[in-house]
Amino acid sequence: MKRFISTILFILILLGMAMSILNFTTRVYASPSAKFGTSTQVTNLFEQLIYYLQGRWMYGNYYCIGEPSDCSIVN
């Protein structure tokens, strides 16, 4: 009985280690309604209107434009 429990625990430990390694290898895909880009302050009203209509508004006069890795908001 002790050997059976030890085997089960060993399998669970190996499974946990495998799952934690696989957790870092998955790719994440955002939905089409995601906002992405660099959080940038825009003061030009025409550019604000363009970015707002594209759905890139965050707060105040800050918009998500540019580099996608700096600003990512998924609805």
pLDDT confidence of residue 43 = 87
pLDDT confidence of residue 5 = 93
Instruction: Give the residue, 43 or 55, on which the prediction is more confident.
Output: 43
Which amino acid is it at 64?
A: C
Q: Model confidence over 7-54: pLDDT tens digits?
A: 999 999 999 999 888 877 666 655 555 556 667 788 889 999 988 888
Q: Quick one: tokens of 75?
A: 């609805």
- pTM summary value: 0.43
Residue with tokens 């870092």: 24
Calculated CA dihedral for residues 19, 23, 26, 30, nearest 10 degrees: 130
